[in-house]
Amino acid sequence: MTGPRFMSIGTFVATLAAMVPGFFQGLSTPDPSARVIAAVLVGCAVVSSTAGMWWAERTSQRAIRVTLAVFGTFVFASLWFSGDRTFLVGMPFISMLVLFLPLWVAIAGTTAMTIFMAAIAARDVDSSVVLVAVAQFASAEAFVLVFSFIARRERYARHEVERLSQQVAELATAKERNRVARELHDSLGHCLTIANVQLEAARAQGGSQDERLAKTQQVLRDGLAELRNTVSLLREGPPRPLHEALEGLVADTTSAGLPAALELSGTKRALGAGLDLVLFRVAQEALTNARAHAKATRVNVKLSFEPAQVKLAVIDDGATATELVEGNGLTGMRERVTQAGGTVSIERGATGGVHLHVEVPSA
């Protein structure tokens, strides 16, 4: 669901406030059998309009349409068996048509209910009374339509403001990332490049320090390569979809001497550069720790795409101290995940090793 949610506690209570009197209206039906049927139908309408809509709104647009269709069926049926006495149950139905469906559907539903009410009233009373009853019912419907439409506009406007605010925050974050990338490139990158050139010149002169200079130059080359990768990630996030970036990371870890495997589950989907970068950095830090500190012989990476969240797990079999001590890398990892609205869990395995679990919302 990408739109605003309407089934708040207030809406829930307001719906009950209209439906409960409708239930007692059903009990006032003269015919005993019709009274029982009307009361049961109103009870079903109460359940579908409260618990049913609460569930449907958090599931899918299709679930909302189906639940409203069921709710409407109970409303029309209760009106028929009660001889229009349960008209109050129609008010929440009209309101929900406005809140959850296109406006033309709400108008069509209101018109159909008005005609239905007139047909029911015409069974037992004369035409003049029918006109008065229909006019009263139509005025109540108009009141509910107008105020529900105002609530709909206000809620959608608030949702749009929240969406735009999030976009502004993302743009500000991207701008800051670009600034940091420029600083790294223009300062540290320049210094490393000059140092590499100087070492190349020193090696050209030969001498006893040639081997040491060669090793130093290789370290600088590796540092430059890592810096370029960092700048690229800061500017754009992982250059590939997350699962592909993790495949490359796992392959690099295996090439470096630590066997690693990646397990994917769920339907792969784009998460956005910000979330991709968070999870990529978490996996990168965990794999680096497993290779450099844990003395692991194998590490498994699991990425699970779920409807409302994404889960990442990195599990190694390395030697683990009695008490896990978090350094700057793990602290930074927690900060990244927390800023993305997620959680981090780091535990010792039953037979050794470190189990890292990360969950972040993606809906």
Structural fold of domain 238-363: Heat Shock Protein 90 (3.30.565)
Q: Which of 118, 63, 113 is nearest to 91 (CA)?
A: 113
Helix (H, G, I), strand (E, B) or coil at 354: strand
Predicted confidence at residue 357, as pLDDT, reads 92
Q: Residues 331-347, buried b or exposed e (16+ Cβ, 10 A)?
A: eebbebbeebebebebe
Predicted confidence at residue 304, as pLDDT, reads 92
Predicted confidence at residue 362, as pLDDT, reads 77
Predicted confidence at residue 331, as pLDDT, reads 77
Distance CA 304, CA 306 (A): 6
Predicted confidence at residue 261, as pLDDT, reads 92
Taking residue 132's Cβ as centre, other Cβ atoms within 10 Å add up to 12
* pLDDT (tens place) for every residue of the chain, 363 residues total: 445 666 667 667 777 777 777 777 767 777 788 778 888 888 888 888 888 888 888 888 888 889 889 988 988 888 888 877 777 788 888 888 888 888 888 888 888 888 887 787 776 655 555 666 677 777 777 787 788 888 788 877 887 887 888 778 777 777 777 666 665 665 565 556 656 666 676 667 665 566 666 766 666 776 666 666 666 666 655 556 888 888 888 887 887 778 899 999 988 887 765 788 788 888 888 887 777 665 778 899 999 998 888 999 999 887 654 455 565 667 778 888 888 888 998 888 777 778 899 999 876
Taking residue 139's Cβ as centre, other Cβ atoms within 10 Å add up to 10
- Residue ranges covered by each domain of the chain: 1-236, 238-363
Predicted confidence at residue 358, as pLDDT, reads 93
Alpha helices in the chain (DSSP H): 9-27, 32-47, 53-57, 61-82, 90-100, 103-121, 127-183, 189-204, 210-236, 242-255, 273-292, 328-339
Distance CA 131, CA 122 (A): 9
Q: What single-letter DSSP state applies at residue 16?
A: H
List the beta bridge partners of residue 312. Answer: 303, 358
Q: How would DSSP label each residue in 241-291?
A: -HHHHHHHHHHHHHHTT--EEEEEES------HHHHHHHHHHHHHHHHHHH
